[in-house]
Chains A and B, each alone.
Chain A
């Protein structure tokens, strides 16, 4: 009897513990526009404290998915749950901050006035406005009308607006769209700062190196389907290779092909490309293997594909 209680207790504890971690859970979410299936039975979950990249080419369903979870687009099928069903979407929206597509504010009102309005809608006091404006570097332009803002400033104001209620989760849809490198860098620094404070972030983008630099986890969409979900590290580890050069290239290649460390080699003329048998194979392993057989290496480089190439590979 006490054993049963212990088992049930532990089960419940784990369930509850896991429950508290899930800020958003999406199950089988689908959206059809007539015959076009924009989002196709999509499922994923977002856990507290991590930075997720929602990656996909244009038209892969990123914005539509975000639209659905934010109650702006009506779903065709499937469901999603905020804070593990503890809150309705309307209540959840008050605890998160989101920016979709372009920053949308009233052009005839100043930045501060726009933020004041958002505070009224979110039913919070306007006390945080000054701090957030400072965070995004717009304090000295806060009394200027929104229509006078450059694109970079508009994006920054949008981020400030999403942060007003100190949200537990931040959803950013292409926040660096249309910005020059300086603007992109600024936004990225702000995002990193926010992530460091423990805010969960979903960053939707088609910019791969952006996701690479900022996110821990990535969900890749293509044509409305999820084709990859995992950590950014996992994505990289999938397909390392090595490039190697030695005096006697033919002997080198033969030795490598015999090795259990190697699954495949490719002779590219002046170097040989090695596809390791598994992800744990290190350069040292290869080096030792070859030197044990008295084959001495001239150069050996471990290569990680740029996320770009990964991405293109996965999506074609």
Chain B
């Protein structure tokens, strides 16, 4: 059984020469860096001038919440890399060739999964660094206690990304065609929304619906990065009301992390089982 490093090396080698993936990867990091540009935005509404950076979006610790949430919008770029790295192996029939050359099905799935871990990790580290820099520049508070508060948004970001990646990887194995895998993914997110609506409006109430739907795969991942907008005014006011609770935000429950970890495990395992069962 090949080692983690060997499998990662194989995967990186395959992607290294793939122009589309390299482009998407670069584009992701370039765009991520441009979060910094939000700092430069000055809105003029009538006589009112709002300089966003002054509003406190880059204040510690709020910046961790805000930046991870914003960065998440760019995840789609990476999703395309993930889906193509699985479906290409079917299109080029290289999956078969890899197996004949001696790669086991288990090693094949693991090499893809390990790569996803590294990808999610790179993105997370990058967001961390960008946020740290922006925070140090713009934040009104820079004591080390404040800087490293609420850092849990970063592992949340990492897990959300990894969750989405493994889900997409599984869909790639299932459907073998990138368009269908992605299409199904979007439809699935809508289906989860519909089921939630049914639970909430038709069958139960809001509380039960939320409790049940948090176990759905995509919803669970979404719950890892709740939207930060409603906290924004509170962040602005923190200077005036030190000691008050920051907005109405209680952090991300541990259960949310756990559910996503389990879904990640499930998707990796059923990808493997699917591969084993199939006659290529």
A residues neighboring B (CB under 8 Å): 33, 67, 70-74, 90, 93-94, 98-102, 104-109, 113, 116-118, 120-123, 161
Q: Is A106 touching B104 in the complex (CB atoms < 8 A)?
A: no
- CB contacts (< 8 Å) of A90 on chain B: these are 102, 104
CB contacts (< 8 Å) of A71 on chain B: these are 99, 104
Task: Please name all residues of chain A whose beta carbon is closer than 8 Å to the beta carbon of B103 when the two chains form the complex.
Answer: 121
Q: Which residue of A lies closest to B93 (CB)?
A: A104
In Å, the complex CA distance between A291 and B150 comes to 110
Given A74-B279, A93-B100: A107 and B93 interface contact (C-beta under 8 Å): no
Q: How far is the CB of B188 from chain A (nearest CB, A)?
A: 29
Contact of A121 among B17, B98, B279 (CB under 8 A): B98
- Given known contacts A90-B104, A104-B92, A104-B97, what 18 new A-B pairs fall within 8 Å (CB)? A70-B99, A70-B100, A71-B99, A73-B280, A74-B278, A93-B101, A100-B96, A104-B96, A106-B88, A108-B17, A108-B18, A113-B17, A117-B10, A117-B13, A120-B9, A120-B13, A122-B101, A123-B102
Which B74-128 residues have C-beta < 8 A from chain A? 88, 92-94, 96-104
For the complex, is B207 an interface residue (Cβ under 8 Å from A)? no
Chain B contact residues: helix, strand, loop or mixed: helix
Taking Cβ atoms with an 8 Å cutoff, the residues of B that contact A are 2, 6, 9-10, 13-14, 17-19, 88, 92-94, 96-104, 276-280
Question: How many Å from the CB of B196 to the closest CB on chain A?
Answer: 39
CB distance from A145 to the nearest CB of B (A): 9
- Is B99 touching A106 in the complex (CB atoms < 8 A)? no
CB distance A118 to B101 under 8 Å?
yes
Q: Return B70 CB to nearest CB of chain A, in Å.
A: 32
Cα–Cα distance between A108 and B20 once the two chains are bound (Å): 10
B9 touching A72, Cβ below 8 Å: no
| B94 adjacent to A106 (CB under 8 Å) | yes
Of the candidates A106, A108, A121, the one whose C-beta lies within 8 Å of that of B102 is: A121
Residues of chain A within 8 A of B104, CB atoms compared: 71, 90
A-chain residues with CB within 8 Å of residue B276 when the two chains form the complex: 74
| Nearest chain B CB to A117 CB, angstrom units | 6
A105 partner residues in chain B, CB cutoff 8 A: 92, 94, 97
Q: Chain A residues near B14 (CB, 8 Å)? A: 106, 117
B94, A121: Cβ atoms under 8 Å? Answer: no
Q: Which of B13, B100, B279 has the most CB of A within 10 A?
A: B100
Inter-subunit contact A102/B93 (CB<8 Å): yes
Are the C-beta atoms of B97 and A120 separated by less than 8 Å?
no
Shortest 10 CB-CB distances between A and B: which pairs? A93-B102, A104-B97, A104-B93, A73-B279, A121-B101, A94-B102, A109-B17, A72-B280, A98-B100, A121-B103
Give the distance in Å from the alpha carbon of A118 to the alpha carbon of B101 in the complex: 7
- A253 CB, min distance to chain B CBs, angstroms: 57
How many angstroms from the CA of A106 to the CA of B11 in the assembled complex? 13
A170 to chain B, nearest CB (A): 12
A116/B13 in contact, CB under 8 A: yes
B17 surroundings in chain A (CB, below 8 A): 106, 108-109, 113
Partner of A67, one of B10, B88, B92, B279: B279
**Chain A neighbourhood of B2, CB < 8 A:** 123
Q: In the complex, A73 Cα to B92 Cα: how many Å? A: 18
Question: Nearest Cβ distance between residue A121 and chain B, in whole angstroms?
Answer: 5
CB-based contact B10/A120 at 8 Å: yes
A67 to B100, CA, bound (A): 9
Whole-angstrom distance between the Cβ of A197 and the nearest chain B Cβ: 21
| Among candidates A72, A106, A116, residue contacting B96 with C-beta atoms closer than 8 Å | A72
Residues of B within 8 A of A67 (CB): 279-280
Q: How far is the CB of B84 from chain A (nearest CB, A)?
A: 11
A118 CA to B88 CA in the complex, in Å?
17
Q: Which residues of B contact A122 (CB under 8 A)?
A: 101-102
Q: Once the chains are docked, how many angstroms separate the CA of A116 from the CA of B10?
A: 10
CB neighbours (8 Å) of B278 from chain A are: 74
Contact of A74 among B19, B94, B100, B277 (CB under 8 A): B277
How many angstroms between the C-alpha atoms of A93 and B98 in the bound complex? 11
